[in-house]
Amino acid sequence: MSTPTEVRNLPTRPPSPHAARLGPNRGVRLLPHLSLLVLVATACWAVVDLRINIATLVDGFHNAVAFAGRMLPLDFPPLADVARLAGQTLSTALCATLLALLLSVPVSLLAARNLTPNRYVSGAARSLIVLARAVPDVIMAIAAVRIFGLGATAGIIAMGLHSVGMVGKLYADVLEETPEGPRRALRSAGSSYPQELTSAVLPHVLPSFIATALHRLDVNLRSSVLLGFVGVGGLGYEIAQSFQRLDYRRGMALALVVLLLCLVMELLSGTIRRALLPHTRTTRARRRTTTTGTRESTTTETQESTTTGTKATPAPGKDGSGPSRPASAISPPWTAARVRRWMYGAVTAAVLVAAVRGAELSPHQLLAGLGQLPTVLGHYLPPTAPGGMAGLLDALWVTVKTALAGTLLGMALALPVGVLAAPNVSPWPRLSPAFRTLTVAIRGIPEIVLAIVLVVITGLGPVAGALALAVGSLGFLGKLTADSLEELDPAPTRALTATGASRLQVFFAADFPRVLPALLGHVLHQFDVNIRSAALLGVVGAGGIGYELLNAARVLEYGLVTTTVLLLLTTTLLLEAFSTWIRRTFT
């Protein structure tokens, strides 16, 4: 019989990987999978509970025909009025984006862990970014209209503050990825902190900063339409007034103007990104080097050094003593690319100046509003619930169900569209541009316009909101799915194809498993967005807590407005924490 000491000294076999998976932490590892399964099941139940089915769509078909009869022919206002309203909307979106950039840059510098003074400052800045992202812009607009009055000023402040949540987060993430080598070299040479930022950090992050700003401009242009329903001027305000008068011909005509404006802005921003960001061109060249060899790689490197201003190593001098120093070593040459970038910069500055003037910002209005800020904020405190919390919680649950149903339906529609839009996996690659265009067109339709039309067709309630979110999710998830599929390494696909596997077998065995983590992250992000959007769509009769919020604001129940905002804020933060946990587990 062996002693305890002998037992401890006996050789033991290392546990197998299978045994490790079945260890005591198995429940912890299964928890994210079970949570995701419960979320999907709840989304399916939400679709059934809201009665979103073929019968509902068939019943709404007759209403759609009747609505088309009341909508056509469209009644466009005079061209001068259309230009004026479109100019106000564009000016509001541009000024809001400019305000967001001015606020996001210092906040992101404090939030980036590699640039902030200490981790406490970084945590505080990150919390501020999350808070700005969690409070919907329409809620900020309601308070801003109360403080600054009707007009573009309230919309600019509301969208600008809300945009810090997204822009600040993306800017901070990009700053944290900045390589430390150039900064350390400058620091060792005695450079100051501002010199490090302008010489080592800014050139690295500028392309991403520009791309994020252009994307946020697209988002703010759509948001400005929604803010028109709470008193912000421009096309959104005129659409809201038209629908309140049941003037569908004028309202839908203006909605078509918004759609065209969004499509033009998205195409224009894409063109500007490709022109200003040379890495978008060289990325394609890098992908081709895997199949064409080193000659194209050399061409790509030459392109990069030319377009980004990186100087090649100077050739040795005639005396062989060392590299010569041409004038371009001190001042870069005025190439066509450099002239083009300066021209774009000058045009951008001129557009921003015109936008500030077009928004008719009044310093007197700003100062007067800031002066009465303490008084107005005092009206919103303390939070109250005159009718009890039960009704608000029920409305909040309706909002969550609407977001779940809209995200699930959007995902079900976006997956086939994304596959058909990606030429490397599509069974009909020639049709991929058509499906890409479809996603662009859908993204150009503001969800508030969709919700208004669907409310008229299906009636008041969350069904219209869920269908509007589904269509909006189709546009964004379809594009992101196609992008993720196009970025896959083609080697596994080619290997399976060489064995004689069919296209369907290759997709489910090689392509879909690799794109699944990215797709899951996209869906969870869209669910976060849809939670906020579902609350906002309640403003136009789509039900949920947004409807309660608008009613409270109309009857001047400011304490109830505060309670509703706190409930929505708490729900948004909890769902964002859940989505972040799931994404970190699966990606």
User: Cα(561)–Cα(540) distance, rounded to whole angstroms?
Assistant: 17
pLDDT of 299 above 80: no
- The HSE-up count of residue 398 (CA atoms within 13 Å, CB side) is 25
Per residue in 433-443, pLDDT (tens digit) is 888 888 888 87
User: Is 70 exceeded by the pLDDT of residue 311?
Assistant: no
pLDDT of residue 313: 43
Residue 323's φ and ψ, nearest 5 degrees, are -70, 140
Q: Looking at 344, 379, 414, which one is the last position of a domain? A: 379
Share of the chain above pLDDT 70, in %: 84
Whether residue 9 is contained in a domain is answered as no
Do 420 and 452 reside in the same domain of the chain?
yes
Does position 362 have pLDDT exceeding 50, yes or no?
A: yes
Beta-carbon contacts of residue 43 (< 8 Å; ≥ 6 apart): 404, 405, 407, 408
Residue 321 is assigned to a structural domain of this protein: no
Q: How many domains does the chain have?
A: 2
Domain that holds residue 472: 32-71+387-587
Give me the pLDDT at residue 321, please.
Answer: 47
Which tens digits make up the pLDDT trace of 548-583? Answer: 877 887 777 888 888 888 888 888 788 878 877 877
**Average pLDDT estimate for 290-309:** 39
Dihedral sign for Cα 317, 319, 321, 325, please.
negative
In angstroms, the CA 72 to CA 75 distance is 8
Q: Say yes or no: 512 and 374 in one domain.
A: no
pLDDT more than 90, % of the chain: 7
Nearest to 98 by CA among 402, 386, 359, 273: 359
The better pLDDT of the pair 315, 106 is held by: 106
Residues 60 and 98 in one domain: no
| Range ranked top by mean pLDDT from 313-322, 388-397, 408-417, 571-580 | 408-417
Residues in CB range of 551: below 8 A, 6 or more apart: none
Instruction: Decide if pLDDT at 324 tops 50.
Output: no
Phi/psi class of residue 221: alpha, beta or left (left: φ > 0; alpha: ψ in -120 to 50)? alpha
Q: Render pLDDT for 380-396 as a digit per residue (tens, 0 to 9).
A: 888 888 877 888 899 88
Domain-ending residue, one of 348, 379, 410:
379
Ramachandran class of 335: left when φ > 0, alpha when ψ lies in -120 to 50, beta otherwise: beta
Give residue 406's pLDDT: 92
Torsion sign over Cα 136, 220, 238, 69: negative
Note whether residue 299 is domain-resident.
no
pLDDT tens for 476-490 read 888 888 888 887 888
DSSP of 397-441, one letter per residue?
A: HHHHHHHHHHHHHHHHHHHHHHHHH-TTT-SSGGGHHHHHHHHHH
Residue 330 counted as domain residue: no
Predicted confidence band at 65 (pLDDT cuts at 50, 70, 90)? Answer: confident
Cα 530 vs. chain centroid, distance in angstroms? Answer: 11
CA distances from 149 to 211, 222, 225, 282, 294 (A): 33, 21, 17, 48, 62
Q: Among 205-209, 280-284, 517-521, 523-527, whose mean pLDDT is lowest? A: 280-284
pLDDT at 404: 92
In this structure, the answer to whether residues 407 and 529 fall within a common structural domain is yes
Could you count the other beta carbons within 10 Å of the beta carbon of residue 162?
A: 26
Q: Is 177 found in the same domain as 49?
A: no
Q: Are 512 and 484 in contact (CB under 8 A)?
A: no
Comparison of pLDDT for 373 and 82, the residue scoring more: 82
Q: Pick the range with the lowest mean pLDDT from 13-27, 406-420, 528-542.
A: 13-27
Q: Which of 79-83, 168-172, 241-245 has the lowest mean pLDDT?
A: 241-245
Q: Comparing 13-22, 180-189, 303-312, 486-495, which segment has the lowest mean pLDDT?
A: 303-312
| 489 DSSP 8-state letter | -
Whether residue 446 sits in one domain with residue 374:
no
**59 lies in the same domain as 96:** no
State the pLDDT confidence band at 301, using cuts at 50, 70 and 90. Answer: very low
- Paired strand residues for 323: 316
Same-domain pairing of 224 and 275 = yes
Q: What is the mean pLDDT of the chain?
A: 78
pLDDT digits (tens, 9 = 90+) for 456-468: 777 777 888 888 8
Is the same domain home to 367 and 436? no
| pLDDT of 266 higher than 80 | no
Q: What is the pLDDT of residue 409?
A: 93
Question: Which residue spans within 57-215 are E strands per DSSP?
Answer: none
In a domain, 80, yes or no: yes
In this structure, are residues 232 and 145 in contact, taking their beta carbons and an 8 Å threshold? yes
Domain's final residue, options 379, 414, 433: 379
Please give the average per-residue pLDDT across 337-359, as a whole number. 79
pLDDT band for 330, please (50, 70, 90 cuts): low
Q: Are residues 351 and 456 in the same domain?
A: no
Q: Are 359 and 87 in contact (CB under 8 A)?
A: no
Residues 6+ apart with CB under 8 A from 91: 152, 354, 355, 356, 357, 358, 359
For CA atoms 347, 352, 357, 359, give the dihedral sign: positive
Q: Does the pLDDT at position 174 exceed 50?
A: yes
Split at pLDDT 50, 70, 90, the class of 277 is low
CB within 8 A of 78, min separation 6: which ones? none
pLDDT score for 489:
80
Confidence of residue 25 (pLDDT cuts 50, 70, 90): low
CB 141 within 8 A of CB 227: yes
Q: Same domain, yes or no, for 126 and 199? A: yes
Kindly indicate the confidence band of residue 3, based on its pLDDT and cuts at 50, 70 and 90: very low
Q: Are 149 and 117 in contact (CB under 8 A)?
A: no
Quote the pLDDT of residue 41: 92
Distance from C-alpha of 453 to C-alpha of 256, rounded to nearest angstrom: 12
Domain harbouring 125, CATH code = 1.10.3720.10
Alpha-carbon distances of 411 from 415, 441, 512, 515, 576, rounded to whole Å: 6, 17, 14, 14, 19
Rounded distance between C-alpha atoms, residue 79 and residue 358, angstroms: 17
- Which residue reads 């004689």 in tokens? 500
pLDDT at position 298 is: 38
What's the predicted TM-score (pTM) here? 0.73
Q: Which residues, 6 or more positions from 279, have their beta carbon under 8 angstroms from its beta carbon?
A: 207, 304, 308
- Answer yes or no: is 21 within a domain: no
Structure tokens at 213: 């700003």
Specify the pLDDT at position 205.
86
Q: Please indicate, yes or no, whether residues 280 and 395 belong to a single structural domain of this protein.
A: no
Spatial contact of 471 and 442, defined as CB atoms under 8 Å apart? yes
Q: Say if CB 381 and CB 562 are below 8 A apart.
A: yes
Name the 3-class secondary structure at 319. Answer: coil
Task: For residue 543, name the pLDDT band (cuts at 50, 70, 90).
Answer: confident
Lowest mean pLDDT segment, chosen from 33-47, 278-292, 364-378: 278-292
Q: Is the model's pLDDT at 104 over the cut of 90? A: yes
